[in-house]
């Protein structure tokens, strides 16, 4: 698999006993930080407040669940990762939330090769897209030519991507832009 079709859907998959998103995702409406289990998550999977759950939860589907082109090895309980496509600042980004209990899962195969392929594809689309690995608030940008550890990001920080023509082809640079440095 070398690309993800953002518009594909996969109604045949269900969460089953998986609720890893309830641990890895930040839920604003519940004031739940990334990397901590939601207090409403049931140990067997599912939600104690399912009927009244926040809109963030109601509207969320991970890419493995919604996208038939994401292969079975990406099932979150198996991979220890939750894939989420987001639109950020006009760019498509693949955000990969990694369970802090398996912080290097993204570096193992077949995941790493696929992440590099997705990074190339998103950048080739020309919209500044990229793949970002989140292990709690620590972010690693996956670029076609390297991986860049951006350290800890807050929700107001941004990630800036630049490319330039080098002696061996395109070279990429990415860095964190703290909120105080963002210019309107």
**Which residues lie closer than 8 Å to 78 by C-beta, 6 or more apart?**
72
Q: Residue 24: helix, strand or coil by DSSP? A: helix
User: Which pTM was predicted?
Assistant: 0.86
Token pair of 27 as six digits:
């839920």
Q: Running along the chain, 184 residues long, what does each successive block of 10 average in pLDDT?
A: 47 85 94 94 88 93 91 95 87 92 96 94 79 93 90 82 80 79 49
Q: Please say whether the beta carbons of 24 and 36 come within 8 A.
A: no
**Which residues lie closer than 8 Å to 152 by C-beta, 6 or more apart?**
137, 138, 139
Q: Please say whether the beta carbons of 137 and 34 come within 8 A.
A: yes
In this structure, the number of other CB atoms found within 10 A of the CB of residue 171 comes to 15
Strand order in the sheet with 130-135: 81-88, 91-98, 130-135, 138-142, 147-152
Token pair of 180 as six digits:
């105080």
pLDDT score at 160: 78
pLDDT score at 1: 33
């Amino acid at each position: 698999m070398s690309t993800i079709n953002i518009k594909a859907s996969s109604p045949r998959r269900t969460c089953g006993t998986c609720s890893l998103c309830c641990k890895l995702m930040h839920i604003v409406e519940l004031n739940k930080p990334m990397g901590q289990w939601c207090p409403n998550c049931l140990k067997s999977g599912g939600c104690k407040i399912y009927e009244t759950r926040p809109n963030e939860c109601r509207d969320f589907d991970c890419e493995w669940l919604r996208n038939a082109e994401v292969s079975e090895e990406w099932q979150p309980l198996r991979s220890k990762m939750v894939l989420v496509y987001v639109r950020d600042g006009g760019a498509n980004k693949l955000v990969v939330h990694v369970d802090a209990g398996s912080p290097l899962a993204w570096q193992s195969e077949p995941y790493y090769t696929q992440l590099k392929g997705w990074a190339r594809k998103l950048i080739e689309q020309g919209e500044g897209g990229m793949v970002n690995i989140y292990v709690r608030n620590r972010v690693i940008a996956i670029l076609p030519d390297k991986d860049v550890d951006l350290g800890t990001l807050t929700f107001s920080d941004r990630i800036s991507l630049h490319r330039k023509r080098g002696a061996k082809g395109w070279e990429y640079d990415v860095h964190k832009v703290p909120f105080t440095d963002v210019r309107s």
